[in-house]
Structure 1
């Protein structure tokens, strides 16, 4: 059965379990402070927002998202297709991201993609279904699963802020690769999504910069 995070109570349960599993995290938790929940509704808007967030800066991402909302209104697949340019990027998006959003919206409208049903699948199947979509990579799929699907046992090991946070916390000589970090994170199953939140909060504390993918 898929473990789903629905509230701060689940975050607290997950953190308590993590501290029992790995005592090294006690110090990390003290520095990190309260862990954020930041759940968004599943669906096109949630996935689109994550894709838009992957630009040069948070300010740029926010500006693009505001343009989309101004043009589209409620960000649904149907509304996006009615407002987005077909043959050129719009809203300040790169050509690649515009193509990804248009393709996802089209798949939803044509009934080839059901993001609500996808969130009911187990972690592996949901992940595989997401990365099968053109333009969706591992990080995007994992972040969507965590923050729009509430999956409790997902760890986006390719995230640079998580790599930096763990390097600092564990006093590692070099930043771990995505593969190496995924292996480290196996210890924190079945609450890897809470472990990720912990290290994002730790990163924010030591750098004074919020690196959490969801605003």
Structure 2
């Protein structure tokens, strides 16, 4: 079973990141201690991440609650495949998310992916296995491995909030694109996932007005 990094693990990783890359030192100094909140994984965890994309937090919670209830309290590949598309759409799922949920379920049932034992794969192999499923993009695969498996070195370079926080850290005029973000994050190995959490926390604090940034062209 995946185990979330402890507060001590995260603190040590943050210190190492700040030493390895002075650009992260300010984010580290300004961002409070945070925990790594591990979400349920497996089929349920991946399907839920798909359901929650591109909707508000409140809408995602409502749709997911209806989905769980509609499936009898157990979100399994078998339960999803036991419903037709219209039955799943009745829970509030879009047609596209129904297709993706069914495709992930078929991949699990047919043995094309083993979501219960992804931790036996390296980060790279796990991302490859997940993105081979129709509907699972690289960002989804990376965030699943971070939030559902607690992987410390996975970095979703395509995340716009991370890219913006990276711009602030480097005091750059332009936000890095996905390719540039991956290259920039190489110095953060083996704690790229902790760097992502740190930058997200910093970004959120700035956006909420809790953290002030000096003028860097924002």
TM over 0.5: yes
Q: TM-score, normalised by structure 1?
A: 0.87
- Distance across 1 between alignment mates of 2:87 and 2:183: 41
- Aligned pairs for 1:1-215 (under 5 A) are 5-72=4-71, 73-82=73-82, 84-86=83-85, 90=89, 91-208=91-208
Q: Which has the larger radius of gyration?
A: 2
Question: Larger RCO: Structure 1 or Structure 2 (Cα < 8 Å, ≥ 6 residues apart)?
Answer: 1
Q: Is the 8 A contact 1:88 1:95 kept in 2?
A: no
> Equivalent residue of 2:183, what SS?
helix
Gaps of 5+ in 1: 210-215
Q: TM-score, normalised by structure 2?
A: 0.86
Q: Is the 8 A contact 1:153 1:193 kept in 2?
A: yes
Q: CA RMSD in A?
A: 2.1
- Out of 98-107 and 23-32, give the one that drifted further: 23-32
- Distance across 1 between alignment mates of 2:6 and 2:35: 10
The Cα shift of 1:89 comes to 5.5
- How many residues align structurally? 206
The Cα shift of 1:111 comes to 3.4
The Cα shift of 1:109 comes to 2.7
Question: 1:111 and 1:152, CA in 2 relative to 1: closer, same or farther beyond 3 A?
Answer: same
Runs of 4+ in 1 over 4 A off after TM superposition: none
Q: Deviations over 1:17-59 (max 9, x none)?
A: 2122112222101222122301123201111111112123222
Gaps of 5+ in 2: 210-218
Q: Is the 8 A contact 1:89 1:99 kept in 2?
A: no
